Amino acid sequence: MMSDAYAALVEKHREISLIHSSSATLGWDQETNLPDKALAYRAEQIAYLSGKAYELSTNDAYSKLLTAAEDNNDNSQGSLANLREWRHSFDRSTRLSQEIVERDSKASSHAKALWIKARKQCDFSLFAPHMQKLLDLAKEKAELWGYQEETYDALLECYERGAKTRDIVTIFDQFQPAIISLASHAVAKSATNNTRKFEGSFPVAKQQELNRAVAKSIGFDFKAGRIDTTTHPFCTTLGPSDVRLTTRYYDHDFTASLFGVLHEAGHGLYEQGLPEADYGLPSGSAVSLGIHESQSLLWEAHVGRSQAFWNHWMPKAQELFPQLRDWSVEEFLKTINQANYSPIRVDADEATYDLHVLLRFDIERRLIRGELAVKDIPTAWNESFEASFNMRPKSDSEGCLQDIHWAMGGMGYFPTYTIGNLNASQLFHTATQVETISNSFKDANFKPLLDWMRLQIHSKGSAHLPQDLMVKATGETTNPSYHLKHLSNRFL
Amino acid sequence: MMSDAYAALVEKHREISLIHSSSATLGWDQETNLPDKALAYRAEQIAYLSGKAYELSTNDAYSKLLTAAEDNNDNSQGSLANLREWRHSFDRSTRLSQEIVERDSKASSHAKALWIKARKQCDFSLFAPHMQKLLDLAKEKAELWGYQEETYDALLECYERGAKTRDIVTIFDQFQPAIISLASHAVAKSATNNTRKFEGSFPVAKQQELNRAVAKSIGFDFKAGRIDTTTHPFCTTLGPSDVRLTTRYYDHDFTASLFGVLHEAGHGLYEQGLPEADYGLPSGSAVSLGIHESQSLLWEAHVGRSQAFWNHWMPKAQELFPQLRDWSVEEFLKTINQANYSPIRVDADEATYDLHVLLRFDIERRLIRGELAVKDIPTAWNESFEASFNMRPKSDSEGCLQDIHWAMGGMGYFPTYTIGNLNASQLFHTATQVETISNSFKDANFKPLLDWMRLQIHSKGSAHLPQDLMVKATGETTNPSYHLKHLSNRFL
C-alpha cells in the first residue's frame, strides 16, 4: 500500500508541476510572441517561478517526506522508479549551494553575450576567458555532484540518466571509423547523383497546410497541441494535453519546415504518449534526451525521408506546389537524401551529422580531463575536423564557435544527439521486424509503428533508466550497427 | 521617509504582481492559443497561481505589514494612495470567507453553463434558478463587504472605486430622457440617409496591415505589445511593457476589426502610459473600469469615427480595398455612423448604446433592492425595452439573456459602460479646448491628444479615485451633457 509520505510527495510534485508548466508557458510565449521590451520582466517572472519550484523540491519538509517515503515504500514498480528519480534530483539539486547556482547562471549569461559577439567577429579569443570560467564551473559542479569513474560522468548525467562516459566511449570508438568511412563514400556517391534542385516559391500557407496534414497523419493530436513559427524549431510541453511544436519557413524550400515539423512532432508524439495520469511525476515524464531524440529522428529520418512516405505524400505536395509536378519520387528522394560535408552541424545530413557530434564530444572530454587547454580549442577543432571531413572550417564561427551549448554551460549534452540517432535506428529496426508494422508502410500507414513506440517507449515514462529501456524494447543496449546499416541502405 | 514596513509592502506587491502577470499570460494564451484538451489543466494552473497571490495578500504577515505601514506612513501622495488601495483590497478580500468564495465560484460556473443553454433555447426559465442563487450570493457578499447607503454600492465598488449608487442614479436620471429622445431622432435621421453598403471581400491580411498602421499612428507601441485574433476582442496586460490586444475579422466589413483594434488600443495606450516603475502597485495601475472605458471610447469613437481621421486614412483604405475607391469620406462616415435600434447591446451604435446600459442597470438595482423578482425579469426587460427602443426583443436570447455578465456574477459592472462613455466625451471636450490639440487634428496628428491623456489620466495611476481624477482633469465630476452634445453633433 502507498504510504502517506509517498502520497504527500505525489501531491507535492503535482504542485511543483503546476509551477513548472506555468513557467514553460511563459517560456513558450517568450519564443513565439514576446514584444522586445517585455523581455526583462519575462525573465523575472520565469526566475521567480523557477525559484519557487526549486524551493518546494529542496526544502526540509520535502527532504523529510522523501526519507519517510523511502523508509515506507511499497516496492511497487511505479513507486520505486519515482522514488529513485526524486532522490536523484533532490541529491543533485541540494549538492549545489545557492552561491554556485548564482555564479553559474551569471557566468553563462555573460558567456552567451560574448559568444554571440565572438561568433559575429569570428574570433574565439573573445570567448576564451568565458569558456575557461564555464569549464572551471563545470568541473566544480561535477565534484559537488560526484561521480564514480570520471568527471565527465557527472555532466553527462544531466542529460542522459544512468549513462557512463566509459560506455559512450566504447560505443563511439566502435562507431567512429565506420561512420567516417561511410560518410566519405556517401558524399562521393551523392556527388555523382546529379540531383535536381527546387525552383520557384513555396508559399508559407501551403507549407503549413502540408505540415499539418503530415503531422496529423502520423498521429500528432492537434486537440492537445499546436504548431507555431520560431527561428529555431523546438517542442515544449505546457501541460498533460498541451504540446507545442515550432518550425521555420523558407520560401525556396518547403522541406526545411516539413522536416522541422516531423522532427518536433516526433518529440511531441512521445510527450503525448506519456501516461497522462502521471503528469509531473517521473513515471509520467520522458526519461532522457537520448530517448527523446530517438523519437524525433524516427519520424523525421526513418519515416519522413523514406520512399513509402513519399509515394503517399508526393501527389499532395505536387498539388500544393505545381513546380514539383514533373518530379518523380526517386528524383525527390535523391534531392532530400544527399550527403555533403558541411562545416555546420545543424545543416548536416544524416550521413555526416554524427561526425560533428563525435568531434565535439572528444574535445569536451579532453577539456574536462585537462588534456586540452581552452586556448587550443580552435586548433584542435580544425585538425579533428580535417581528419573526419577532409576539409577545414573557414573560420572559428564555422568551427568551434558554431553551437551555443558550451556558452549555455551545456557540457555533456552533445553525445545525446548521436545516442539518439543510434537508438532511433535500433528501435526502428526492432519494430519493423514485426510484419504488421513493416507491411503497413506500403499504405503509408505508420499507426502500427506508433502503437509499438507507445507500448515500448512512451507509456513507460521514466520507469526504467534509458539503457534498461533499450534492452526491454530491443533486447540489447545501444548498438551502433543498426544505424550504420540504415545509413548504408540509404546512401550507398 | 518611507518606512521599512511600507518598503516591505512594496516588495510584497512586486512579488504578487509576478504571480498575477504570470497568470494573466496563461489567461491570454488560453484565449488565443490553447488546444481544446488543455483547458482543464490550464484552469488548474490559473487557480493555483491565483490562490498563491490571494494567500500572499491576505495572510497574517501581510496584515501586520499593512498596519505597521499605516502607522508609520510618510504622508506622501504616492504612499497615501497605495496604502488607501491596499487597505481597501485587503478588507474586501478578508471579509469574504473561503467558504463563500468557493460557493460563489461554483455557482457562477454552473450558472454560465446554464446561461449558454438557456440562451440557445431562448428560455429564461432554465437560467432563473441560477440567477436567483447568484442574486442571493451578491446580496450576501454585499452585506459582508459592507456599504453606507444601499446594497448595490458594495457591488459597484468592485468595478468603480468610490462610486455611489446614488450618484450614478443622479447622473442617469438626468441623462436618460435626453438620450432616449436623442436616439429616437438619430435613428429617424439615419433612416433617411440612404447610406451605402460595403461590397466585396476585405482580405484579413490587408485588414491587419491597416489596423497595425492605425494603432501605431495613435501611439500604440508594438515593441511593448501586439495584436492577435479572438472571438471577443479584449486587452490584457502581461507585464510593464507587454500589452496584448485582440480583435476579430469579418470578410465583408473591415471596420469591425479596425474599430475593435482602436477600442482595445485605447485601453492599451492607458496601460502603456501608466508609471512603469510602479508596475504592480496601485500608483502604477488603472483606477477603474469607467476611466478605462473612457480611454478606449475616446480612440474608437471620438477619434476613429471622426472626419479628420478619415480624411487622412481613407486613401490608405482605398489603396488596400479597391472597392472603396469611388466612396467619398462623407459617404463613408454616414455608413460607419448610422443609428439603428438593435436588440443586442454589443451590436449597438453610439447613439443607442447607452439605452441598453440604462435598462440593465435599472433592472439590476430593482433586483438587488427586492423590487423585482427573478421570474419577472423577462417581462420587466421587454416592457422597459419597448419604452426606450419602441420595439420588443423577439426572444429572451435577444433580451435579458443576451449578456454573460450576470451569469458570471458580475452585478454592478454595467453602469461603468455608460460612465465610460460620459467620461470619454467629457475628457475629449476638455482636451480639445486646448488649441494645439484641436488644431493638430486636421493633420490627423493625435499625438497632442495622447500627451494630454498621458499627463491627466495615464500617469496618475490610482493616485486619485475616479471622480477626483475627473475633477482634476476636467474641473467637474462626470457630467452627461458633453456626451449628449457629442452625439447630437454626430447624429443630428
Q: What is the pLDDT of residues A46-77, one digit of tens each?
A: 999 999 999 999 999 999 999 999 999 888 88
Mean of pLDDT values over A27-43: 95
Chain B nearest-CA residue for A33:
B226
Smallest Cα–Cα separation from A182: which of A490, A425, A488, A482?
A488
Pairing verdict, β A242-247 and A235-239: antiparallel
Q: How many whole angstroms separate alpha carbon A467 and alpha carbon A477? A: 6
A242 vs B18: CB contact, 8 Å cut-off? no
A225 vs B35: CB contact, 8 Å cut-off? yes
Task: With H, G, I as helix, E, B as strand and everything else as coil, classify residue B109.
Answer: helix
Mean of pLDDT values over B197-219: 98
pLDDT at A76: 84
Which residue in A17, A33, A50, A235 has the most chain B C-beta atoms within 10 A of its own C-beta, making it the best mutation to test that interface? A33
Task: With H, G, I as helix, E, B as strand and everything else as coil, classify residue B462.
Answer: coil
**In Å, how far is A437's CA from the nearest CA of chain B?**
29
| B38, B226, B240 ranked by CB distance to A241: nearest | B38
**In Å, how far is A273's CA from the nearest CA of chain B?**
14
Smallest Cα–Cα separation from A429: which of A355, A492, A359, A484?
A484
Q: Which of A264, A271, A300, A364 is catalytic?
A: A264
Q: What is the pLDDT of residues B255-309, one digit of tens each?
A: 999 999 999 999 999 999 999 999 999 999 999 999 999 999 999 999 999 999 9
What is the per-residue DSSP string for A372-422?
Answer: S-GGGHHHHHHHHHHHHHSS--SSGGGTTTS-STTTTT-TT-THHHHHHHH
Q: How many whole angstroms separate alpha carbon A184 and alpha carbon B420? A: 73
Count of residues in chain A: 492
Q: Would the annotation count B293 as a binding residue?
A: yes
Q: How many whole angstroms separate alpha carbon A263 and alpha carbon A292? A: 11
| Residue A1's pLDDT band (cuts 50, 70, 90) | low
| A15, A42, A242 ranked by CB distance to B41: nearest | A242
**In Å, how far is B462's CA from the nearest CA of chain A?**
22
**In Å, how far is A245's CA from the nearest CA of chain B?**
12
Chain A residues with at least one Cβ partner in B under 8 Å: 15, 18-19, 21-23, 25-26, 29, 33-38, 40-42, 44-45, 48-49, 221-226, 238-242, 279
Chain B residues with at least one Cβ partner in A under 8 Å: 15, 18-19, 21-23, 25-26, 29, 33-38, 40-42, 44-45, 48-49, 221-226, 228, 238-242, 279
Query: Chain B partners of A12 at a C-beta cutoff of 8 Å?
Result: none
Which residues lie below 8 Å from residue B269, measured CB to CB, with a gap of 6+?
B218, B219, B220, B295, B299, B450, B453, B458
Q: In what order do the strands lie in the sheet containing B235-239?
A: B225-229, B242-247, B235-239
* Nine cell digits for residue B380: 420587466
Q: Which of B85, B157, B160, B264 is catalytic?
A: B264
Query: Chain A partners of B22 at a C-beta cutoff of 8 Å?
Result: 22-23, 26, 45, 48-49
Mean of pLDDT values over B478-484: 98
Chain B nearest-CA residue for A22:
B45
| A19, A22, A35 ranked by CB distance to B226: nearest | A35
DSSP A226: E
What is the per-residue DSSP string for A44-106?
Answer: HHHHHHHHHHHHHTTSHHHHHHHHHHHHT----HHHHHHHHHHHHHHHHHHHS-HHHHHHHHH
Q: What are phi and psi of B237, to 5 degrees?
A: -110, 125
B224 vs A37: CB contact, 8 Å cut-off? yes
The residues facing B242 across adjacent strands are B239
The one-letter code for the residue type at B311 is N
Mean of pLDDT values over A111-124: 94
**In Å, how far is B48's CA from the nearest CA of chain A?**
7
pLDDT at A77: 80
Mean of pLDDT values over A445-474: 98
Residue A78 pLDDT more than 90?
no
pLDDT at A181: 97
Q: What is the pLDDT of residues B224-235, one digit of tens each?
A: 999 999 989 999
Give me the CATH code for the B204-337+416-491 domain, please.
1.10.1370.30
B41 vs A226: CB contact, 8 Å cut-off? no
Q: How many whole angstroms separate alpha carbon B201 and alpha carbon B221? A: 29
Q: Would the annotation count A263 as a binding residue?
A: yes
Q: What is the pLDDT of residues A278-314, one digit of tens each?
A: 999 999 999 999 999 999 999 999 999 999 999 999 9
Residue A194 pLDDT more than 90?
no
B242 vs A42: CB contact, 8 Å cut-off? yes
Mean of pLDDT values over A461-476: 98
Query: Chain B partners of A226 at a C-beta cutoff of 8 Å?
Result: 33, 35
Chain B nearest-CA residue for A237:
B38
Q: What is the pLDDT of residues B229-261, one digit of tens each?
A: 998 999 999 999 999 999 999 999 999 999 999
Chain A nearest-CA residue for B45:
A18
Contact B129, B255 (CB under 8 A): no
Q: Would the annotation count B140 as a binding residue?
A: no
- Mean model confidence pLDDT for chain B: 96
Q: How many whole angstroms separate alpha carbon B253 and alpha carbon B64? A: 56
Residue A138 pLDDT more than 80?
yes
Task: With H, G, I as helix, E, B as strand and everything else as coil, classify residue B51.
Answer: helix
Query: Chain B partners of A35 at a C-beta cutoff of 8 Å?
Result: 222-226, 241-242
A48 vs B18: CB contact, 8 Å cut-off? yes
Query: Chain A partners of B242 at a C-beta cutoff of 8 Å?
Result: 34-35, 37-38, 41-42
| Residue B1's pLDDT band (cuts 50, 70, 90) | low
Residue B215 pLDDT more than 70?
yes
Q: How many whole angstroms separate alpha carbon A318 and alpha carbon A266? A: 24
A239 vs B22: CB contact, 8 Å cut-off? no
B18 vs A45: CB contact, 8 Å cut-off? yes
Residue corresponding to grid cell 502503437: A451
* Nine cell digits for residue A242: 498541451
Pairing verdict, β B225-229 and A242-247: unpaired
Catalytic residue at B398? no
B35 vs A240: CB contact, 8 Å cut-off? no
Mean of pLDDT values over B367-390: 97
Query: Chain B partners of A37 at a C-beta cutoff of 8 Å?
Result: 221, 223-224, 241-242
B35 vs A242: CB contact, 8 Å cut-off? yes
pLDDT at A257: 97
A29 vs B34: CB contact, 8 Å cut-off? no
Percent of chain B past pLDDT 90, that is, above it, reads 96
- Mean model confidence pLDDT for chain A: 96
In the Cβ-directed half-sphere of A413, how many Cα atoms lie within 13 Å?
10
**In Å, how far is B220's CA from the nearest CA of chain A?**
12
Count of residues in chain B: 492
A49 vs B22: CB contact, 8 Å cut-off? yes
* Nine cell digits for residue A360: 565535439
Residue B75 pLDDT more than 90?
no
Task: Domain ranges for chain B, please list them.
Answer: 4-95, 204-337+416-491
**In Å, how far is B19's CA from the nearest CA of chain A?**
8
Chain B nearest-CA residue for A276:
B41
**In Å, how far is B246's CA from the nearest CA of chain A?**
13
Compute, in degrees rounded to 10, the torsion defined by CA atoms A359, A362, A364, A369: -160
Helices (runs of H) and strands (runs of E) counted in chain A = 20, 3
Query: Chain B partners of A21 at a C-beta cutoff of 8 Å?
Result: 41, 45
Three-state secondary structure of B282-316? HHHCCCCHHHHHHHHHHHHHHHCCCHHHHHHHHHH
In the Cβ-directed half-sphere of B404, how many Cα atoms lie within 13 Å?
10
Chain A nearest-CA residue for B20:
A45
Residue A487 pLDDT more than 70?
yes
pLDDT at B78: 83
Residue B484 pLDDT more than 90?
yes
In the Cβ-directed half-sphere of A367, how many Cα atoms lie within 13 Å?
27
